[in-house]
Amino acid sequence: MTATGTHWPVLVLAAVPFVLGASSARHAHRAGARLAPSAAAVLLTCLALSVSLSTGLLLCLAAVIALAEAPGLSGLSHWSPSALRALVPVPPAVGAAGGVVAALLLASAAVHLVRVVRGARRASAAAASLPRLSGGMSIVHDDAAIAHTVPGRHRRIVVSTGMLKALSAAQRRALLAHEASHLRHHHHRYVQLGRLAAAANPLLRPVSRAIDLAVERWADESAAAEVGDRGTVARALAAAALASAAARPAPAGSLGGARTDVGRRVDFLLRPPARQRIAWALVAAGIVVCWAATLVAIDDIHGLMEMAEG
């Protein structure tokens, strides 16, 4: 087996997840608009996690190759540095840089995860102190317009008296149906997994934002189905957004629907975009291709490293 006929396909496969990450960042919002919101949330979350994990694994593998070529370490496993470099021509500097980047991204993901857990605990503790009404709703006496959900052990729909005063009876029903959908469908899981993937791979930040929009649209559609009038839900969104413009941000770990792309969501409610099966197929294919390329590349590089032993 010659070096010329071996390493280039492996390097091409290893580049696939990085190309998919860049492409996903560019087309995530467009794909999300052409999918049902529930499908968009699930598929885009799977895509973000796939790209993040794959690129992280491949960066770590580049670092392993660089270490395997180091004179002091190659003898431990009987690798021939020259043979390994001929089979997998990754310059040591590139491999070392890949290891540094992988370490930084892992640290970023770890810091993000710690912040999310701490924020979720604080929000849950605050929710536990609120009086619970039917349906898990808690009303706080505050002139500021506040409406958000707190997932977790102490699940709550938190609404202020200021928000209730700002909406009509039909709009209040639409708002509460929206917030209840967040809890019923566990939307916080998609949002937090998307943000974790973006913390581990900054290329995926647009995908994370597309997931945020998808879960809000999902809740909007659930509210429209319960209320039976898309226009009422659209007016409730607009009124809640105007009323909460000066309110303090929702606590970390909660979902506040009146602050996420309200203009686009109103437009989606009043003029639903045409859904295309090709968008579903493309995102699903991207997930499959990402993992297939990653696993084949790792397996091939492992085989080439074994060839370089001795």
The single-letter code of the amino acid at 108 is S
How much is the pLDDT for 252? 60
How many residues belong to the chain? 310
DSSP-derived pairing of the beta strands 137-140 and 156-160: parallel
* 271-305 pLDDT, tens digit each: 887 777 898 999 999 999 999 999 998 888 777 77
How much is the pLDDT for 35? 92
Q: How far apart are CA 141 and CA 122, in angstroms?
A: 20
Domain ranges of the chain: 7-307
Residues 256, 160 contacting (CB under 8 angstroms): no
How much is the pLDDT for 1? 41
Q: Which long-range contacts (CB under 8 A, 24 or more apart) does 187-194 make?
A: 187/41, 187/215, 187/218, 187/219, 187/255, 188/149, 188/151, 188/253, 188/254, 188/255, 190/41, 190/42, 190/45, 190/214, 190/215, 191/215, 191/255, 192/116, 193/45, 193/48, 193/49, 194/44, 194/45, 194/48
* 97-151 pLDDT, tens digit each: 888 999 999 999 999 999 999 988 888 888 888 887 877 788 888 888 888 888 8
- Which residues face 149 on adjacent strands? 157, 255
Torsions phi, psi of 3, nearest 5?
Answer: -65, -40
The single-letter code of the amino acid at 226 is E
Given a cut of 60, whether residue 253 has pLDDT beyond it is: no
Given a cut of 60, whether residue 200 has pLDDT beyond it is: yes
How much is the pLDDT for 151? 87
Dihedral, CA of residue 80, residue 84, residue 89 and residue 90, to nearest 10 = -80
How much is the pLDDT for 47? 97
**Residue 69 DSSP label:** T
Predicted confidence band of residue 249 (pLDDT cuts 50, 70, 90): low
* 24-55 pLDDT, tens digit each: 999 999 999 999 999 999 999 999 999 999 99
Provide the mean pLDDT of the chain. 85
